[in-house]
């Protein structure tokens, strides 16, 4: 393992965890997943995927080729087939006589509700597709979506898919600057936003960030955006640019509810989603249509044991993240699921809000993140105990390693000690779940994602790319192409190759550390690169460092992810102030002021989620002789540990200087 490895806070516990929970015979008897799937997929992997693609997806032109890997590492799956993702998510269910089935139980944070059937969704998506076309959007044009969790958000994504216009959803918590760079990189033609959304009991504005992102800026190219489509959600005042801005209700409500979906080639881009990498510039991860939809539907059906006639499914992720794409929009809707869509935060107006929703809608499958589970643990189990959670039968976890304590709590307090937990490992890049137990088949282990799904080949390798023996640790790799794999980084094929395919010849390098236990099961141990995972959100250390040094007072900055009981990791920044500002941090008030200024600056540059939890003003940063910052040592300081081996530092007294400075009552 490299020197700068990051490990999950629970590594110690993971290594001693031996509990296992075999499926009950009752669950196994009704399960979608069967043990034979592993054998089938191993015997004929491509045949297995072709069967999934034919069984779970409707093609307007059937494919005859399964995989074309001749252009590796850019894969082509089902390439001579044609389909439409929105038709698959909506229309085909209506055509099958399921139009009255509820697709979305929307619950706004203030308590307003809306029930949307598949027939409603078909009309809404068709109207929105017609509206986008009348605003000039054509197949292939990019549309940026910057919205809270609303019915319109799902409709907007599907409307884009319906006309073959790739969407790029930008999380509503990102700042105007972050939005600007994403709009520019994708050269978007239209932005879909809202006046605002409800968060923590109050309206929170979104439109001003769009206005700012589109305003002319020195040194920035003129915007490619022709129209901004604005959903009215909160009714708050908005600035209006005539000719550019259009209300959603004006454009969509009166549009025809009939729209012919555009049948696209399987490899037509479905969406771009920006994610943090190890450099300052976010990567536009590109996903295409046929393979992505196949794997999203397949994993959703088998990993969550979905029974669309009877289940009520709820994934708490925001559509701004890949989990919202694959497991709020494309997977569940392709499978005809009924799901809950919740706008707000878990503790508004009270800490039992989620459990109240589970009781109200009789949610049977819940998919959430370890950070949320740990937060609920902190609030105490008497909160969920006040609600009837007996409808829950499958629980999912995603986004970061789940520590065994949280896993056990989730199982006992939320799952009534019976619901199987699926700990699902995957990434924005993989498009869909890759490693997970299968409920009804796998004996689950607290804290382990365990096994690659049927059809997926994963391994743990050492520095020389050799598969490690059971009991060994190293890097997680994916050894065979998979249908939902990214097809590249938008506009940067070289970066795609460098980032994922150059570390180990012929293997996809995920950037995660992992180990195999004595049974050969995989345990994920966190990132091995400079990517942090805060509350399941990926943040780049470099990106936050560049934001910090772009502030006048900062000469140098180093950012590390420090272990945190609730959020997994917390952002801790070490900054050196410029000479002329160095005095400012010598008094406690001055230091506080600088810290507040810098935290705010990061919020403006990237978004509130990237704000450092702590900023430490230091006189020097620990560097190797080659000038590389030794984050491992800074992590020791941030986690209040004795500082480790500092002998490779160019100046070994630096750590003493840092420690002394921090101990000084400032």
Determine how many CB atoms are found less than 10 A away from the CB of residue 506. Answer: 11
Shortest distance, CB of residue 513 to ligand WTA, whole angstroms?
A: 9
- Taking CA atoms, 176 is separated from 180, 220, 605, in Å, by 6, 14, 8
Q: What is d(CA 247, CA 254) in angstroms, rounded to the nearest whole number?
A: 12
| Closest to ligand WTA by CB, 355 or 523 | 523
232 among the known binding-site residues?
no
Q: What is d(CA 91, CA 95) in angstroms, rounded to the nearest whole number?
A: 6
| Closest to ligand WTA by CB, 122 or 295 | 295
Q: Largest Cα–Cα distance of the chain, in whole Å?
A: 74
549 among the known binding-site residues?
yes
Shortest distance, CB of residue 330 to ligand WTA, whole angstroms?
A: 14
| Closest to ligand WTA by CB, 123 or 527 | 527
Strand 102-107 to strand 113-117: parallel, antiparallel, or no bridges (unpaired)? antiparallel
425 among the known binding-site residues?
yes
Q: What is d(CA 519, CA 497) in angstroms, rounded to the nearest whole number?
A: 33
| Closest to ligand WTA by CB, 328 or 637 | 328
512 among the known binding-site residues?
yes
Shortest distance, CB of residue 6 to ligand WTA, whole angstroms?
A: 9
Total residues found in the chain within this entry: 666
Strand 143-146 to strand 264-265: parallel, antiparallel, or no bridges (unpaired)? unpaired
527 among the known binding-site residues?
yes
> CB–CB of 351/195 below 8 Å?
no
Given the rule CB under 6 A, which residues bind ligand WTA? 275, 321-323, 398-401, 423-428, 449, 510-512, 524, 527, 533, 538
Shortest distance, CB of residue 336 to ligand WTA, whole angstroms?
A: 23
> CB–CB of 447/13 below 8 Å?
yes
| Closest to ligand WTA by CB, 230 or 432 | 432
| Closest to ligand WTA by CB, 264 or 273 | 273
399 among the known binding-site residues?
yes
> CB–CB of 485/431 below 8 Å?
yes
133 among the known binding-site residues?
no
Shortest distance, CB of residue 428 to ligand WTA, whole angstroms?
A: 3
| Closest to ligand WTA by CB, 207 or 516 | 516
- CA-nearest of 338, 246, 347, 271 to 300 is 338
DSSP 308-333: TTT-EEEE---TTSHHHIIIIIIHHH
Q: What is d(CA 239, CA 227) in angstroms, rounded to the nearest whole number?
A: 14
| Closest to ligand WTA by CB, 357 or 402 | 402
Shortest distance, CB of residue 526 to ligand WTA, whole angstroms?
A: 6
Shortest distance, CB of residue 476 to ligand WTA, whole angstroms?
A: 8
Shortest distance, CB of residue 275 to ligand WTA, whole angstroms?
A: 5
Q: Which helix (H) or strand (E) holds 184?
A: helix 176-186
| Closest to ligand WTA by CB, 334 or 577 | 334
For the chain, state the CA radius of gyration. Answer: 24
> CB–CB of 509/477 below 8 Å?
yes
428 among the known binding-site residues?
yes
651 among the known binding-site residues?
no
427 among the known binding-site residues?
yes
Determine how many CB atoms are found less than 10 A away from the CB of residue 225. Answer: 20
Backbone angles phi, psi at 218, to 5 degrees: -60, 135
- CA-nearest of 616, 483, 399, 639 to 81 is 483
Give 529's DSSP letter.
S
| Closest to ligand WTA by CB, 274 or 574 | 274
613 among the known binding-site residues?
no
442 among the known binding-site residues?
no
294 among the known binding-site residues?
no
Shortest distance, CB of residue 441 to ligand WTA, whole angstroms?
A: 18
647 among the known binding-site residues?
no
Q: What is d(CA 426, CA 434) in angstroms, rounded to the nearest whole number?
A: 5
Q: Which helix (H) or strand (E) holds 594?
A: helix 588-605
503 among the known binding-site residues?
no
Q: What is d(CA 193, CA 253) in angstroms, rounded to the nearest whole number?
A: 16
Residue 91 sits at the vertex; the CA angle it makes with 31 and 486, to the nearest 5 degrees, is 70
| Closest to ligand WTA by CB, 229 or 531 | 531
Shortest distance, CB of residue 446 to ligand WTA, whole angstroms?
A: 12
What SS3 string covers 73-95? CCCEECCCCEECHHHHHHHHHHH
| Closest to ligand WTA by CB, 117 or 316 | 316
Enter the tokens of residue 391.
Answer: 């409808």
- CA-nearest of 340, 360, 438, 369 to 31 is 438
Shortest distance, CB of residue 374 to ligand WTA, whole angstroms?
A: 14
Shortest distance, CB of residue 425 to ligand WTA, whole angstroms?
A: 4
Query: Would you list which residues are annotated within the binding site for CoA?
Result: 199-202, 323, 535
Query: Would you list which residues are annotated within the binding site for ATP?
Result: 399-401, 423-428, 512, 527, 538
Query: Would you list which residues are annotated within the binding site for Mg(2+)?
Result: 549, 551, 554
Query: Would you list which residues are annotated within the binding site?
Result: 199-202, 323, 399-401, 423-428, 512, 527, 535, 538, 549, 551, 554
């Amino acid at each position: 393992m490299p020197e700068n490895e990051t490990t999950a806070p629970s590594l110690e516990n993971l290594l001693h965890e031996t509990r296992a929970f075999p499926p009950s015979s009752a669950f196994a008897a009704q399960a979608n997943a069967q043990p034979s799937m592993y054998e089938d997929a191993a015997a004929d992997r491509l045949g297995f995927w072709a069967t999934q693609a034919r069984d779970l997806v409707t093609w307007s032109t059937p494919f005859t080729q399964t995989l074309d890997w001749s252009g590796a590492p850019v894969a082509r799956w089902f390439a001579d087939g044609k389909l439409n993702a929105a038709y698959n998510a909506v229309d085909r269910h209506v055509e099958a006589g399921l139009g009255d089935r509820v697709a979305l139980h929307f619950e706004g944070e203030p308590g307003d509700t809306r029930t949307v059937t598949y027939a409603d969704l078909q009309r809404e998506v068709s109207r929105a597709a017609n509206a986008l076309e009348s605003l000039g959007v054509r197949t292939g044009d990019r549309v940026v979506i910057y919205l809270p969790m609303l019915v319109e958000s799902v409709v907007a994504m599907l409307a884009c898919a319906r006309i073959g216009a790739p969407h790029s959803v930008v999380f509503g918590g990102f700042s105007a600057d972050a939005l600007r760079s994403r709009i520019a990189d994708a050269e978007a033609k239209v932005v879909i936003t809202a006046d605002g959304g409800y968060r923590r009991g109050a309206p929170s504005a979104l439109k001003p960030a769009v206005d700012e992102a589109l305003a002319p800026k020195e040194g920035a190219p003129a915007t490619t955006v022709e129209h901004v489509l604005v959903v009215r959600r909160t009714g708050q005042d908005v600035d209006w640019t005539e000719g550019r801005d259009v209300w959603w209700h004006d454009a969509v409500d009166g549009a025809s509810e009939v729209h012919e979906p555009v049948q696209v080639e399987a490899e037509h881009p479905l969406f771009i989603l920006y994610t943090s990498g190890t450099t300052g510039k976010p990567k536009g991860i590109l996903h295409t249509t046929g393979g992505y939809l196949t794997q999203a539907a397949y994993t959703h059906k088998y990993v969550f044991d979905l029974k669309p006639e009877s289940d009520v499914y709820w994934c708490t992720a925001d559509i701004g993240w890949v989990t919202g794409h694959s497991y709020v929009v494309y997977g569940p809707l392709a499978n005809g699921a009924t799901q809950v869509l919740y706008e707000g935060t878990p503790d508004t107006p009270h800490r039992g809000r989620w459990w109240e929703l589970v009781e109200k809608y009789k949610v049977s499958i819940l998919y959430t993140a370890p950070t949320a589970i740990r937060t609920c643990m902190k609030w105490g189990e008497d909160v969920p105990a006040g609600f009837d959670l007996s409808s829950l039968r499958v629980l999912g976890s995603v986004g970061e390693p789940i520590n065994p304590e949280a896993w056990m709590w989730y199982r006992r307090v939320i799952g009534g000690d019976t619901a199987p937990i699926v700990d699902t490992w995957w990434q924005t890049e993989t498009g869909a779940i890759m490693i997970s137990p299968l409920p009804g088949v796998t004996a689950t282990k607290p804290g382990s994602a365990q096994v690659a799904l049927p059809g997926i080949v994963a391994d743990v390798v050492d520095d020389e790319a050799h598969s490690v023996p059971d009991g060994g640790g190293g890097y997680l790799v994916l050894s065979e192409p998979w249908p939902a794999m990214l097809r590249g980084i938008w506009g940067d094929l070289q970066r795609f190759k460098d980032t994922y395919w150059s570390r180990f010849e012929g293997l996809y390098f995920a950037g995660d550390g992992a180990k195999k236990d004595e049974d050969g099961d995989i345990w994920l141990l966190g990132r091995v690169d400079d990517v942090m995972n805060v509350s399941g959100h990926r943040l780049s250390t470099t990106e936050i460092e560049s934001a910090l040094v772009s502030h006048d007072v900062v000469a140098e900055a180093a950012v590390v992810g420090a272990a945190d009981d609730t959020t997994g990791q917390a952002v801790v920044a070490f900054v050196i102030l410029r000479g002329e500002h160095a005095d400012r941090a010598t008094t406690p008030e001055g230091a506080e002021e600088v810290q507040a200024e810098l935290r705010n600056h990061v919020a403006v540059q990237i978004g509130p989620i990237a704000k450092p939890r702590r900023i430490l003003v230091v006189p020097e940063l620990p560097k190797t002789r080659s000038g590389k910052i030794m984050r491992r040592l800074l992590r020791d300081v941030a986690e209040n540990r004795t500082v480790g081996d500092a002998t490779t530092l160019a100046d070994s007294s630096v750590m003493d200087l840092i420690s002394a400075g921090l101990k000084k009552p400032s």
